[in-house]
Amino acid sequence: MAQVGWIGLGAMGRPMAARLLDGGHALIGYDVDRAAAAALGDRAKAAGSPAEAAAGCDVLAVMVATGAQAEEVLFGDQGAAPALRKGAVVLVTATVGPAAVQGMADRLAGQGVHVVDAPVSGGVARATTGELLMMVSGPEAALAVVQPLLDAMSSRAPVVGATPGDGQKVKLVNQLLCGVHIAAAAEGLAYAEALGLDAEACWEVIRHGAAASFMLDDRGERMVHGAGDQVKSAIDIFVKDLGLVLAAARENVYPAPLASVAEQLYLTGRRAGLGSADDSKLIEVLRGRR
């Protein structure tokens, strides 16, 4: 079994790390919130810094929110990179964009450390059951090292490329579609209300027809029933991810008109104070209440 260092034990990172513990892997975890590592219980050690989490590990998993956070935990003060042994593998499961992962791989290659790029999709529920989709790319030898971890955390982990960053590119396609689909669900259900329809009754009808989508089914339910204070995925996540989508689109001289419009809705939600709210509350922007 692998010795795993884990950085980032938030809503997604904690259940993913727990899956590795269930699989018998030894794990030392770090999070800026010290209570997050403690929540894993006696099965895992809590590290006091990213460097401590990385020392002696076979695989260092990075599950943070942004590219800036990944940069800090790897290369900042008390960063993990100098503590990694030659031959270790950094497993990037966060969505930080292809440029960030390619930069990490270039910097770590000089000390004999490989990067496997494996951003995830599926949310907290599938992270808990080990049924995530992981979009994997990296050198063949490094993939072999992390395969038992991928098996523990995912139901599907297709290799989408040999270069770190390829996984991030596939994830950006995924996030473009997810972000637009949530926005479309919010607009459609708010439109139903504007027509004088009962949004819940309308949702129950259309979710079984040609307009069905995972996001209409999942987020639509929370839009019509209310999400309360539960946050499964925050609006701020799509502000970040659609920003990455559009940055990569500009770099490749690719127009992404639907993603651009969707980004404006998420930004409007953030400015209205909904950034940390569940992304199903995007419907409040379309209802004109924010």
Phi-psi label, residue 37: left if phi above 0, alpha if psi -120 to 50, beta otherwise: alpha
Q: Is 232 a residue of the active site?
A: no
Instruction: Spot the catalytic one: 45, 86, 169, 171.
Output: 171
Contact 280, 222 (CB under 8 A): yes
Contacts of 173 (CB under 8 A, 6+ apart): none
Enumerate the β-bridge partners of residue 117: 92, 137
Contact 13, 91 (CB under 8 A): no
Q: Quote the crossing angle between the two packed helices 257-269 and 235-251, to the nearest 10°.
A: 150
Sign of CA dihedral 279, 166, 108, 86: positive
Contact 119, 168 (CB under 8 A): yes
**Chain centroid, CA 144 distance in Å:** 23
Q: Catalytic positions, please? A: 171
